[in-house]
Amino acid sequence: MTSTSFASGPEDEWKLRPLSYNNPGLEVDLGVGLWAWPLPMDFDGDGDLDLVVSCPDKPSNGLWFFENPSQNPAVAMPV
């Protein structure tokens, strides 16, 4: 499973890019386990789809929330 975020620069305002992970110069895909259940929904009530992932296996077990920071209602980005 791959997680992405929206870049904040003006020219890349609506482009997807990998998330930074612990090191500002390092970009990696974030894993949430082998048996994860992705649940696209408006979890935070802001009108766009976010991603909630339920993961029952170890070491990533738990409930993971990935917020979609898009503020442009004209752009319907898939999760």
Q: Residue 6 has what pLDDT?
A: 45
Digitized pLDDT (tens) for each residue of the chain, 79 residues in all:
445 444 445 555 556 666 555 666 766 666 667 788 888 888 888 888 888 988 888 777 888 888 887 766 566 555 4
- Domains of the chain, by residue range, sit at 4-66
62, β-bridge pairs = 55
Q: Residue 66 has what pLDDT?
A: 84
What pTM was computed for the model? 0.51
Q: Residue 23 has what pLDDT?
A: 65
Q: Residue 65 has what pLDDT?
A: 86
